[in-house]
Structures are given as structure tokens and as C-alpha cells.
Amino acid sequence: MSSADLRPRVRFAPSPTGSLHVGGARTALFNWLYARKYNGVFLLRVEDTDRARSTDESTRAIFDGLEWLGLTWDEEVVYQGANVARHYADAHRLLETGAAYRDFTPASEIERLRAEAEARGDAFRFDRSMAMLSDAETAAKLAAGEPYAIRFMVPDGVTEWHDLVHERIAFPNKDIEDFVILRSDGTPVYNLAVVSDDIDMRITLVMRGDDHISNTPKQILLYRALGATEPQFGHVPMILGADGKKLSKRHGATAVGDYQYLGLLPGAMVNFLALLGWSTGDDTEVMTLPELIAKFDTHGLQKKAAIFDTKKLEWMNGQYLALTALDALAPVVAPALVKAGLTTAEALDARREWFHGLLDLLRIRSRTIDDIVRQAPPYFQPTVEYDPEAVTKQWRDAKAAAEILAATRERLAALPVWEPVAMEEALRHLAEELSISGGKIFQPLRVALVGLTVSPGIFDVLQYVGREWSLARLDAAVAYLTADSSAA
């Protein structure tokens, strides 16, 4: 065996029946981190055997989501639907070895028995004796072309494994029914298709959601019956909403694509997802991708369900907004500003330094790209709208405010350079002359410049709004306030 064959091989195996859900993305991430950490191979398998529910659109959304998160796969995508001939052959191989048997029971009969059992309050279990026919009976049914399903004959005993997360898990085989592996229409059932493909893909570790735990004993039995060595298994915890219920649309966005369009940074999303069911053991939370790879360890995988806390995700994104280099952040924010109708890509390119500086300013008070966009209009549009609350709070005495703003305008207009240090000096002087605090100048000025009571530091605002627009806004504010007072 060459050393390449010893590399761990893991996979993410989504069913393309919807968008990439955060739970799926988290499972993909754990597998990806595992592969990157242990010099392994991360594979993607699209489980599209359910023709009725699988769509190309969903497959596309899964690829897009994984690409956005940076979870690249190492070999060509495997489409499960392309392997049905092998699944079929494997089922028939089990039939030949006696590990499986033909079940000619008509579907209608199974349905009737199931309904009866339910009426009694029991769970239906297929009774093997129903299918046990003599060779002659089987031959006759085959000759008559009667359809049959293939069922796996669950042996006696206990099926157990050492789970990477839960440690020992054991299922008494008597609790496992002889499950169907190939339907009477020749299509494989999930457990068979997965095992057949995982063997073919030489998967060494199956890491997936807790909801698959009850499938694992069936799959282990199939590996053994097919003469293959079973991989390791690890079942990662479910993701719940803040109310402790299974994460669903009620909790807000659950698709990775939604977060992409809400203006989240992919690095923040990855970091947040990594902490859903895994921890470093210390308090470290904000980790770059290389750090995550370095720290990832299956011992940190948790048994208890993880809580999807959108507040934490926003917080994480705020951390990433602050950490990301402006060169990397600008291309992510630019399209959002363009989409909001505030500017064009060309205009931003032409004022690159100004744009990066502005971004550095606006990201301080932002947790999302949308927060940045929301604060941006005063820097891109000549005029601003006044928030009524800001007017009431900071311009309560219209006459006094107009006087202060007029004086402010005069001092700023007289400056030889439009530069924060000079502005601050000039306005502090003015405050002294008027025997008022700096705030009495800066607060009304802020409303004039951005229309709000909050903004980045006022001298930065003046600088980024620019001389011409700033002075025009001061004129407009004075005009607004004097018009108001004469009307009153």
C-alpha cells in the first residue's frame, strides 16, 4: 500500500433536496477541518437517488454555499445516482451469500399489517417467517415475474462501535428489523447506497449528525456482510434554536445562502459554525481558518446539542469586520454599497484610499455589512435627512442651535486645510469663546452632518464627508432651523 492510501478520507454527503442548511454546513466543516488537520482527503457526495425530491438547483446551492465558506473538496464530486448499478449488484451479492433474502410480500399486505399494528398501538416489525419460502416456491414466483424486495437478514447478537463523540454505542440486533436494501422496483434504499458508496470511496471516517445514529448499526452490519472493514463513526450533535427546539425557519434564516445575502463574512460564519458542537477546551472563540485547523481535535466534539445563537453570530461577524484587512473587506462591501444605490464600482475604484478609510471608520459600529451600508449614505449623497428624534434632542432650542452651527461653519470655512487636528483646534477655541462645552458644538454639528445623534468621531465625519458637502450641510441646517423658528 502506498502512503497516499493511508491518508484519512472523509466525506460530506448532502441530499440535494433544499438549500445548504447550517446544520449540513457545520457537518461539512467538521469533516473538512478533520481532513485539513490530519492530511486527509475531503470528498463531496451528492445523494441524489431520491429522483422526485432532488433538484439541480439544490445541488447548485450546496456547491455555492460550500464555496462561499471556502470548504473546497479534493476529488470530483460523486453523484450517488450514478452508482445505482453497483448498489443493485451489492444487494444481489448479499442475496447470493445468504446475508439477504427475497421478500415477495406485496406492498399492500405490508401496509395492512402496519395499519393493524398501529391500531393496536404497536410499532410494525417485519416478520422474517413471512418471507421464508421453499426453493420451489421462490422459483415459481420468479418464473411468474412477481416483484420482490431484498431484505437484509439481521443476524443475532449486538452491534456496537466506538463512536468518536459518544464513545461506546451498542444496539441489540433483536431491535433491528430485517430492513429492505433494494426495493421491488430495483432502487436501493439509503443505508445500502451509503455503505456501497462509502466502501467504494474508501471512506475511513463517517462524521455526520446525531440523527443518523440509528442507521449506523444497520450500516455496520452491511459492511461486515459485504466483507468490508467498517470505517470509524462520529455523530455530531444536533443544532437547536435559542428556545431549545430543533432549528427551523421559525428561528430565522437557516440556509447558509441567506447569511451570505445578509452581508455576513464567510470567515465569521465558518468560525461560528465550528463552535456549534465543538470547542477548543479553553475560552478561545475567534479563530482564523488556519487557527481552526491547527486547533481542531475530535476530542473537542461535544455530545450535547448546540444552540444556534444569532446574536453570537452577529458578534462574531463584528469581530471579523474589525479583523479583516481593508484590502479584503473592500471588495465584499463594495457590491453592497452599489446594490444600495449609493455609488458605483468605478467611483469607489477612483477614490480607493478614501473608501478604505471610510470603511475603517464605519466598521467600528458595525456587526454586519448591512450595518456599514446603513451608515454610509451621508458620505455618498450630498444631502441628509434629519431623524426627528435627533432634531428634538440636539436642536431643541432652534435659535441657539442655528447660531452655534453658523459660527461652526464660519470657523471651519476659514481653515486653510480640511484636516481633523485643525478642525478640532478651531472648534475647541470656539467653545471656549462661547463658554460652552465641546459637546454643545459637536452634537448639533453631528445632526447637521449625518442627520443622527450617532456617528463616528465628528472630525472623521467632517473629513470623510468632505469640505464642500460639510459646509453645504451646515448652511442647510441653519436654513432649516431659522425657517423653523420664524414659522413657530
Grid coordinates of 361: 471608520
* Distance in Å, CB of 198 to ligand GLU, minimum: 8
C-alpha 126/C-alpha 255 separation (Å) is 38
**Closer by beta carbon to ligand GLU, 237 or else 318:** 237
Picking from 212, 107, 94, 233, the residue whose alpha carbon sits closest to that of residue 151 is 94
User: Phi and psi dihedrals of 463, rounded to 5?
Assistant: -65, -45
Q: Are 256 and 19 in contact (CB under 8 A)?
A: yes
Strands 158-163 and 167-172, bridge-based pairing: antiparallel
- The CA radius of gyration of the chain, in Å to the nearest whole number, is 32
Please pick, from the candidates 8, 15, 54, 102, the single residue that binds ligand GLU as defined by CB under 6 A.
Answer: 15
Residue from 10, 13, 306, 423 binding ligand GLU (CB under 6 A): 13
- 134 contact partners, CB below 8 Å, separation of at least 6: none
- Kindly state the greatest CA–CA separation across the chain: 113
239, 266 in Cβ contact below 8 A? no
For residue 204, give the 3-state DSSP assignment. Answer: coil
User: Which lies closer to ligand GLU via its Cβ, residue 191 or residue 470?
Assistant: 191
Q: Is 16 in the site for ligand GLU (CB under 6 A)?
A: no
In whole angstroms, how close is the CB of 37 to ligand GLU at the nearest point?
20
Give strand pairing partners of 151.
Answer: 101, 180
Question: What is the distance between the alpha carbons of residues 115 and 468, in angstroms, rounded to a whole number?
Answer: 80
Helices (H), 305-386: 310-323, 326-339, 345-350, 352-362, 369-375, 377-380
- Count of residues touching ligand GLU (by CB under 6 A): 8
Q: Which of 408, 328, 326, 387 is nearest to 362 (CA)?
A: 326
**Neighbouring C-alpha atoms within 13 Å toward the C-beta of 201:** 31
Residue 245 falls in the annotated catalytic set: no
Nearest to 372 by CA among 332, 313, 325: 332
| Out of 212, 312, 356, 440, the residue judged to bind ligand GLU by CB under 6 A | 212
Q: Site residues for ligand GLU, window 44-73 (CB under 6 A)?
A: 47
Q: Which stretch binds ligand GLU (CB under 6 A): 62-70, 206-214, 327-335, 363-371?
A: 206-214
Query: Shortest approach of ligand GLU to residue 191 CB, angstroms?
Result: 9
208 binds ligand GLU, rule: CB under 6 A: yes
Any idea which residue has 486653510 for its cell? Answer: 416
Of 228 and 286, nearer to ligand GLU (C-beta) is 228
Q: Can you say how many angstroms the Cα of residue 274 is from the centroid of all Cα atoms in its chain?
A: 10
Based on the shown chain and the rule CB under 6 A, indicate whether residue 235 belongs to the binding site for ligand GLU: no
Residue ranges in 138-197 that form contacts with ligand GLU under rule CB under 6 A: 194
Give the nearer residue to ligand GLU in terms of CB position, either 15 or 298. Answer: 15
Amino acid found at 113: L
Distances (CA, A) of 357 to 72, 206, 327, 331, 465: 33, 47, 11, 14, 12
Q: How far is the CB of 14 from ligand GLU (least distance, A)?
A: 5
The least CB distance from residue 154 to ligand GLU, in Å, is 19
Minimum Å gap between C-beta 161 and ligand GLU is 14
Stretch that binds ligand GLU, among 7-15, 171-179, 303-311, 332-340 (CB under 6 A): 7-15
By beta-carbon proximity to ligand GLU, the closer residue of 45 and 409 is 45
Residue 205 touches ligand GLU, criterion: CB under 6 A: no
Nearest Cα residue to 283 out of 295, 293, 273: 295
Instruction: Report the nearest approach of ligand GLU to the CB of residue 83 (Å).
Output: 14
14 binds ligand GLU (CB under 6 A): yes
Residue 213 vs 342, nearer CB to ligand GLU:
213
Between 53 and 393, whose beta carbon lies closer to ligand GLU? Answer: 53
Minimal distance in Å, beta carbon 125 to ligand GLU? 24
Q: Which of the following is catalytic: 174, 249, 304, 312?
A: 249
Question: Which residue stretch of 10-18, 225-233, 269-277, 320-328 sits at the interface with ligand GLU (rule: CB under 6 A)?
Answer: 10-18
Three-state secondary-structure class, residue 184: coil
By beta-carbon proximity to ligand GLU, the closer residue of 12 and 395 is: 12
Cell numbers that stand for 149 in this block: 424486495
> Under the rule (CB under 6 A), what is the footprint of ligand GLU?
13-15, 47, 194, 206, 208, 212
Residues annotated as catalytic are 249
